[in-house]
Amino acid sequence: MDYYHASEHIYMAAEVIYDNSEEAQEWAEATIIRLFVGEIEEVVNDL
């Protein structure tokens, strides 16, 4: 999966997990950064 589609799915998950709040935005951005720096297994385990 490419970066663009991964980030789309992360934002969708954040909206469900955090009920579309500001916390959802913060979580999504932090998660995308973690993926970008290579923490893939950690992100998957946290889901």
Domain residue ranges in the chain: 3-46
In this prediction, residue 39 carries a pLDDT of: 95
Residue 1 binned pLDDT confidence (cut-offs 50, 70, 90): confident
How does pLDDT run across 10-44, given as a tens digit for each residue?
A: 999 999 999 988 999 999 999 999 999 999 999 98
DSSP-H helix ranges across 1-47: 3-17, 22-36, 40-46
In this prediction, residue 26 carries a pLDDT of: 96
In this prediction, residue 29 carries a pLDDT of: 96
The answer to whether 9 and 44 are in contact (CB under 8 A) is: no
Question: Is residue 2 scored above 90 in pLDDT?
Answer: no
